[in-house]
């Protein structure tokens, strides 16, 4: 395809038409010039291609596809290789169904656990979100299926998402809320999708600071920017902000662009810039060919990803793993009707859904009772009594509870962190008659656990996808050693959160008053204990850390310091461990979080085996954004390199001094900026 030649042959009307979707899912084709159409479809944890892929954007019946674990689940694996494999597996289904671009991954930071769509995002931490999202993009695009990062930016709530105005300071915007996008952009995704909300007073779809200054100029993105579906407010203004493609397609928008060109509001050069990007995307993806694929292969892959993502939160007296001889009461409707995905546009028509009841080992001595319904708050006195009676005579009780789509979904936010009343009552009823209660959670975001001290074990299964029940059974019975870690904080009290009392209350300005203190950055800085901290997770084996070594105790900029730590499996089982490296910040000119995760690696060790895990730190790991001079800078001073089990548990530390000769230059610029601010 000779793009420059086509630009000379296309009429203005045809160019404008290329910048608006042909329908709900396709770009427009120009047959007379041999320009084909390409198709987009919802993701991100599976392919949702509607059976009728025309003008309707309503959530309708879709083709069967493998429902992989949700992003919240995959993030808890802390394993980018699994994210890569998931992207690659979904790409094979896209090729089979003639889909050229998948609308995912979701890269938004979890500002609050109340966000109804948090199951579709990775983490509260930009390092975890960035690495996992980048790996997914690599996997998807390894098969030449385009990825679409979403939703850019500051899309941290679902209620009033069409009209709310996210107001954040520059540091929070650049250090927290766009860092994961910036990392994933290094993988050259085919698209970036703007968000519905306003950003500092201007709709994201027509925000030149957001799309042109930050995304294109500062971050260097050269691909297609697409609107979220129906997110465009004024099409000509969106084009001038460099939004290339409006979805879904409306003829009215084409006419708006044509009129804007005639009246000189939009230049032909601006039109051509977007058309070039659309044509480059179409050229790169239209050569894809339909390929045969067996969904059973992805079902098996989804199970392997689930195995690496389950988080063991509590295991008193090593009640887990279970023995085949244990007389087990399995109670809770979700044990039979698994909640394996979230609600909304990412809802997959699954290929084969497994349940925990069906996947319990054949030799297990297990009886089942429902305990609650899946309607409303789940309360049913008769079902509760039957479940409690079953629990009374069991050696061990597995209580499966969680959140239904009514409690968390795209389109609205949660008002509290409680489990449904019937689920809560079932845990309490089981504890009242049996001392050996194991709680399994099927959730897309944190919940409060007033019964935490009354149960022996807690397994956070999150949303494991269609094949996750088999992985869960393997964890419960010890065939698989749990290795997941929380990629988000579970608060002990909602009222202690920095956004409490201000979150998603109305349709006006949403002030991110906590700035960079998001998630564990806040709780560690304020020294507030949590229910379970970021990075937390248990294992059936034990890992011992030693010999934290830095190859130098002074990092002179520019330069690097090599960090190594020895990790040994001192238990009697094979296991995987997430090695987490944090920096304890010095507190100099600007406020900073007390600690920040900088790098992580997941390792696998047999009993008695040890390895040396290596990291490399550079100036970038110590930088923060200085608003006065519009630069990322690092301050000379004393820092601490830390290896932590989680955000609340320090294992090893070593001092490091940073010496930055360039600090004198930007300090002078800082002084000039302050002088201008005072005098000007």
Per the annotation, the verdict on 547 as an active-site residue is no
Q: How far apart are CA 24 and CA 57, in angstroms?
A: 6
H-helix or E-strand spanning residue 276: helix 268-285
Using CA atoms, how far residue 607 sits from 315, 542, 543, 604, in Å, is 20, 9, 10, 10
Integer CA distances (angstroms), 225 to 233, 241, 403, in order: 15, 10, 34
Residue 6: is it exposed, middle or buried by C-beta count within 10 angstroms (0-12/13-18/19+)?
A: buried
Q: Going edge to edge, which strands form the sheet with 198-199?
A: 202-203, 198-199, 165-167, 509-511
Q: What angle do CA 308, 309, 313 make, to 5 degrees?
A: 115
Which tokens belong to 336?
A: 């039979």
Q: CA 388 → CA 365, 382, 429, 527, distances in Å?
A: 18, 10, 6, 39
Among candidate residues 79, 228, 380, 621, the one labeled active-site is: 228
Separation CA 350–CA 47 (nearest Å): 10
Residue keyed to tokens 């060109």 = 261
Q: Distance between CA atoms of 631 and 662, rounded to whole angstroms?
A: 12
8 A C-beta contact, residue 23 and residue 55: yes
230 three-class SS? coil
Residue that the structure tokens 């059973």 belong to: 296
β-pairing verdict for 631-633 and 637-646: unpaired
User: Do residues 274 and 256 touch, judged by C-beta distance below 8 A?
Assistant: no
Residue 74 contacts residue 122 (beta carbons within 8 Å):
yes
Instruction: Output the CA–CA distances (angstroms, integers) from residue 674 to 175, 212, 628, in the order listed.
Output: 22, 27, 7
Torsion angle defined by CA atoms of residues 77, 119, 593 and 505, in that order, rounded to the nearest 10 degrees? -170
As a whole number of angstroms, the distance between CA 507 and CA 165 comes to 8
User: What sections of 165-234 are H helices per DSSP?
Assistant: 170-171, 179-185, 208
255 φ, ψ (degrees, to nearest 5):
-65, -35
567 contacts 577 by C-beta, under 8 angstroms: yes
Joined tokens for residue 187: 């993988």
**Which value, in Å, is the radius of gyration of the alpha carbons in the chain?**
26
- Which residues are bridge partners to 167 per DSSP? 511
Contact predicate 568/605, CB 8 Å? yes
Q: How many CB atoms lie within 10 A of CB 162?
A: 14
Q: In terms of C-beta density within 10 A (0-12 exposed, 13-18 middle, 19 or more buried), how is residue 217 classed?
A: exposed
A 10 A CB-CB count for 560 gives: 16
Beta bridge partners of 612: 566
Summarize the chain as % helix, strand, coil (round to 5).
30, 25, 45
State the CB neighbour count (10 A cutoff) for residue 497.
Answer: 22
The residue count of the chain comes to: 680
What are the strands of the beta sheet with 101-103, ordered from one edge? 40-42, 101-103, 146-152, 191-194, 224-226
Catalytic positions, please?
228
């Amino acid at each position: 395809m000779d793009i420059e030649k086509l630009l000379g042959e296309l009429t203005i009307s045809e160019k404008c038409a290329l910048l608006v979707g042909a329908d709900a899912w396709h770009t427009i084709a120009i047959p007379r010039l041999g320009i084909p159409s390409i198709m987009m479809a919802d993701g991100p944890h599976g392919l949702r291609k509607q059976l009728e892929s025309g003008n309707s954007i309503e959530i309708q019946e879709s083709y069967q596809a493998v429902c992989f674990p949700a992003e919240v689940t995959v993030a808890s694996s802390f394993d980018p290789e699994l994210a890569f494999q998931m992207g690659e597996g979904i790409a094979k289904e896209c090729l089979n169904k003639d889909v050229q671009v998948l609308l995912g991954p979701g890269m938004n930071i979890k500002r609050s656990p109340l966000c109804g769509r948090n199951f579709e995002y990775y983490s509260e931490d930009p390092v975890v979100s960035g690495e996992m999202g980048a790996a997914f993009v690599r996997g998807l695009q390894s098969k030449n299926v385009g990825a679409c990062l979403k939703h850019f930016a500051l899309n941290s709530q679902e209620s009033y998402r069409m009209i709310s105005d996210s107001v954040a300071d520059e540091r929070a915007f650049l250090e927290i809320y766009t860092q994961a996008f910036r990392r994933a952009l290094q993988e050259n995704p085919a698209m970036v999708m703007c968000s519905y909300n306003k950003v500092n007073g201007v709709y994201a779809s027509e925000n030149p600071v957001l799309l042109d200054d930050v995304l294109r100029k500062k971050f260097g993105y050269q691909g297609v920017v697409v609107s979220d579906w129906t997110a465009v407010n004024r099409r000509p203004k969106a084009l001038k902000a460099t939004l290339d493609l409006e979805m879904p397609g409306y003829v009215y928008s084409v006419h708006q662009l044509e009129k804007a060109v005639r009246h000189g509001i939009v230049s032909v050069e601006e039109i051509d810039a977007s058309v070039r990007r659309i044509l480059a995307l179409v050229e790169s993806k239209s050569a894809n060919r339909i390929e045969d694929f067996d969904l059973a292969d992805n079902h098996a892959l989804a199970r392997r990803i689930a195995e690496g993502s389950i988080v063991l939160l509590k295991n008193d007296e090593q009640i887990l793993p279970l023995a085949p001889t244990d007389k087990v009461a399995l109670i809770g409707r979700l044990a039979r009707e698994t909640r394996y995905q979230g609600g909304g546009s990412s809802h997959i028509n699954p290929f084969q859904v497994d349940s925990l009841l069906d996947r319990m080992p054949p030799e297990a001595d297990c009886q089942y009772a429902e305990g609650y319904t899946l309607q409303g708050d789940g309360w049913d006195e008769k079902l509760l009594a039957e479940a409690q009676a079953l629990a009374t005579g069991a050696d061990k009780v597995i209580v499966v509870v969680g959140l239904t789509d009514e409690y968390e979904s795209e389109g609205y936010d949660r008002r509290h962190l409680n489990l449904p009343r019937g689920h809560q009552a079932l845990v309490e009823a089981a504890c009242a008659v049996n001392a050996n209660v194991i709680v399994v959670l099927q959730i897309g975001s944190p919940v409060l656990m007033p019964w935490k001290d009354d149960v022996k074990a807690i397994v956070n299964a999150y949303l494991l996808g269609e094949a996750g029940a088999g992985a869960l059974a393997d964890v419960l019975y010890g065939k698989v050693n749990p290795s997941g870690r929380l990629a988000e904080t579970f608060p002990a009290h909602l009222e202690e959160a920095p956004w409490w009392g201000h979150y998603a209350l109305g349709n006006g300005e949403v002030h991110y008053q906590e700035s960079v203190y998001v998630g564990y950055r806040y709780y560690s800085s304020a020294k507030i204990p949590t229910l379970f901290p970021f990075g937390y997770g248990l294992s059936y084996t034990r890992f011992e850390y030693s010999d934290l070594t830095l190859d130098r105790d002074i990092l002179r900029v520019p330069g690097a310091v090599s960090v190594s730590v020895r990790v040994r499996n001192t238990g009697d089982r094979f296991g995987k461990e997430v090695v987490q490296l944090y920096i304890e910040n010095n507190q100099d000119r600007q406020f900073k979080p007390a600690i920040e995760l900088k790098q992580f690696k997941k390792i696998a060790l047999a009993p008695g085996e040890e390895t040396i895990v290596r990291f490399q730190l550079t100036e970038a790991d110590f930088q923060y954004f200085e608003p006065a001079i519009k630069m990322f800078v690092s301050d000379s001073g004393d820092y601490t390199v830390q290896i932590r089990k989680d955000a609340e548990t320090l294992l090893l530390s070593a001092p490091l001094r940073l010496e930055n000769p360039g600090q004198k230059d930007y300090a002078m610029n800082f002084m000039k900026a302050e002088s201008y601010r005072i005098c000007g």
